[in-house]
Amino acid sequence: METPETVSEGHTFKSLGVVDVLCEACDQLKWKLPSKIQVEALPVALEGKDVIGLAETGSGKTGAFALPILQALLETPQKLFALVLTPTRELAYQISEQFEALGSTIGVKCAVIVGGMDMITQAMALAKKPHIIIATPGRLVDHLENTKGFNLRSLKFLVMDEADRILNMDFEAEVDKILKSIPRERRTYLYSATMTKKVQKLQRASLRDPVKVEVSSKYQTVDKLQQSYVFIPVKYKDTYLVYILNELAGNSCIIFCATCANTQRVSYMLRNLGLTAIPLNGQMAQAKRLGALNKFKAKARSILIATDVASRGLDIPHIDIVINFDIPTHSKDYIHRVGRTARAGRAGKSITFVTQYDVELFQRIEQLIDKKMPLFKTEEEEVMQLQERVSEAQRIAAMECKEEARAKNKSKRGAASDSDTEEKSSTVVRKRIKKGKKGKSH
């Protein structure tokens, strides 16, 4: 899922029909040439046709649907002009960022309407009648049913982004409701990574005479990506992780774990060793997830520890290294994970941890990518020198996890907020550690 592969067969945004002011916006974003999906989709969309696009995040598909919408908006300025439906909150914010960046000179106003955020604030944003609404289906239906004065009867464009995921997340009923409350006379763009039966059904129900465009970026990994593995006993995984992070210090890194609990444990462990790690998983409250991503994007944290929630869809521009700490059980997830690096023509590395239990899964991955990976070089002696410090960090991390679980249980019974409890639990543990250390130091 190598980031937008651009094509130089003489196409420019201008030659595809994009107006000057938007070409300038692309230029400012350093989009020098259109990506493949943009070359395919833009002329069709600018002609006023419905588009069904088979493309993944990373292909430049947001530009492929945002540019024609903005161009139409320039021609006939109007509030509540377009609606973009997308499966996750993170994607919604990313899409909104791209609309705002492309539309900054023409004063485009967007509203992001997603679950987990305050309804009233959203209702106020909708009352101001933005040009573009980017929403997850559930929360949008909530507003259509409960927010006085809000309707989408003036809508001119509908985008269904990552339609396969929207439908897999059981949003079918919500999508139906939304389709019923918007005008039939409109343009529709449907983007999906895969063409499933459900997507076909949705296409028949919502698109008119669409043109299909497709880029095949599936199941390929890019040449600029150096993929490797380490083969290690399961009990030394943490120690090897610390060794490798030290070896690769100065790079930005994403570490994939199989469970939310493990992301939390590993980040505590690394933090106890002075590394700037931050977890990102589906169990964190929305505000915390965004906070985590923003800290990482702003480079205040160089190590992001994530579950597969983060391996799809997220646009994190500067990752140098992907570490598969827990090997993915579905080999296709491997492609998505390593697709987080070596984007936009930059180089990147991936290192997959293979323990005695993971050999079969690893072989499946090699089969899928049709490549034999080299071993990532490690010096066993040096690794083992870290063992003692890592054990201590693990012990403290285990206490921190326990303390956090206890605090969370307490807060469920009505005490402090999510973020408060985590702060408190860490502070309590650290105090205990200090006490413990004092006791020991004689």
Residue 278 to residue 301: CA distance in whole angstroms: 7
Phi, psi of 367 (to 5 degrees): -65, -45
| 440 burial type by CB count under 10 A (0-12 exposed, 13-18 middle, 19+ buried) | exposed
Nearer to ligand AMP, 25 or 383 (CB): 25
What's the chain's Rg over C-alpha atoms? 24
Q: What does each C-alpha distance from 287 to 44, 280, 282, 407 come to in angstroms?
A: 38, 11, 12, 19
Nearer to ligand AMP, 98 or 281 (CB): 98
Provide the minimum distance between the beta carbon of 57 and ligand AMP in the complex, in angstroms, as a whole number. Answer: 4
Question: How many residues at the interface with ligand AMP, by CB under 6 A?
Answer: 17
Q: What does each C-alpha distance from 312 to 64, 162, 237 come to in angstroms?
A: 19, 11, 25
Provide the minimum distance between the beta carbon of 191 and ligand AMP in the complex, in angstroms, as a whole number. Answer: 9
Nearer to ligand AMP, 63 or 87 (CB): 63
Provide the minimum distance between the beta carbon of 56 and ligand AMP in the complex, in angstroms, as a whole number. Answer: 7
Q: Using the rule CB under 6 A, is 263 a contact of ligand AMP? A: no
Provide the minimum distance between the beta carbon of 66 and ligand AMP in the complex, in angstroms, as a whole number. Answer: 8
* Binding residue for ligand AMP, selected from 2, 3, 132, 187, defined by CB under 6 A: 3
Provide the minimum distance between the beta carbon of 253 and ligand AMP in the complex, in angstroms, as a whole number. Answer: 19
Q: What does each C-alpha distance from 154 to 41, 64, 78, 183 come to in angstroms?
A: 25, 23, 9, 7
Q: Which of residues 324-363 bind ligand AMP (CB under 6 A)?
A: 344
Provide the minimum distance between the beta carbon of 122 and ligand AMP in the complex, in angstroms, as a whole number. Answer: 23
Pair type for strands 51-54 and 132-135: unpaired
Q: Which of residues 286-315 bind ligand AMP (CB under 6 A)?
A: 315
Strand partners, 256: 306, 324
Residue 406 to residue 420: CA distance in whole angstroms: 13
323 within 8 A of 348, measured Cβ to Cβ: no
Q: Which of residues 160-179 bind ligand AMP (CB under 6 A)?
A: none
* Binding residue for ligand AMP, selected from 43, 53, 60, 348, defined by CB under 6 A: 60
Nearer to ligand AMP, 162 or 403 (CB): 162
* Binding residue for ligand AMP, selected from 59, 188, 206, 264, defined by CB under 6 A: 59
Residue 68 to residue 383: CA distance in whole angstroms: 54
* Binding residue for ligand AMP, selected from 22, 51, 53, 61, defined by CB under 6 A: 61
Provide the minimum distance between the beta carbon of 11 and ligand AMP in the complex, in angstroms, as a whole number. Answer: 10
Q: Using the rule CB under 6 A, is 421 a contact of ligand AMP? A: no
Q: Which of residues 17-56 bind ligand AMP (CB under 6 A)?
A: 31, 34-35, 38
Residue 66 to residue 154: CA distance in whole angstroms: 18
Nearer to ligand AMP, 215 or 305 (CB): 215
Provide the minimum distance between the beta carbon of 4 and ligand AMP in the complex, in angstroms, as a whole number. Answer: 4
Provide the minimum distance between the beta carbon of 3 and ligand AMP in the complex, in angstroms, as a whole number. Answer: 5
Nearer to ligand AMP, 67 or 245 (CB): 67
Q: Which stretch binds ligand AMP (CB under 6 A): 57-65, 115-123, 136-144, 278-286?
A: 57-65
Provide the minimum distance between the beta carbon of 234 and ligand AMP in the complex, in angstroms, as a whole number. Answer: 36
User: Token pair for residue 280?
Assistant: 């990102």
Nearer to ligand AMP, 38 or 394 (CB): 38
Residue 98 to residue 317: CA distance in whole angstroms: 13
Lay out the sheet containing 253-256: strands in order across.
225-231, 348-354, 321-324, 253-256, 303-306, 277-280
Provide the minimum distance between the beta carbon of 320 and ligand AMP in the complex, in angstroms, as a whole number. Answer: 16
Q: Using the rule CB under 6 A, is 58 a contact of ligand AMP? A: yes
| 10 burial type by CB count under 10 A (0-12 exposed, 13-18 middle, 19+ buried) | exposed
DSSP string of 111-152, one letter each residue: EEE-TTS-HHHHHHHHHT--SEEEE-HHHHHHHHHHSTT---
Provide the minimum distance between the beta carbon of 134 and ligand AMP in the complex, in angstroms, as a whole number. Answer: 13
Nearer to ligand AMP, 98 or 122 (CB): 98
Nearest residue to 59 (alpha-carbon basis) of 219, 193, 242, 203:
193
Residue 277 to residue 208: CA distance in whole angstroms: 48
Nearer to ligand AMP, 131 or 312 (CB): 312
Q: Which residues lie near ligand AMP (CB under 6 A)?
A: 3-4, 6, 31, 34-35, 38, 57-63, 98, 315, 344
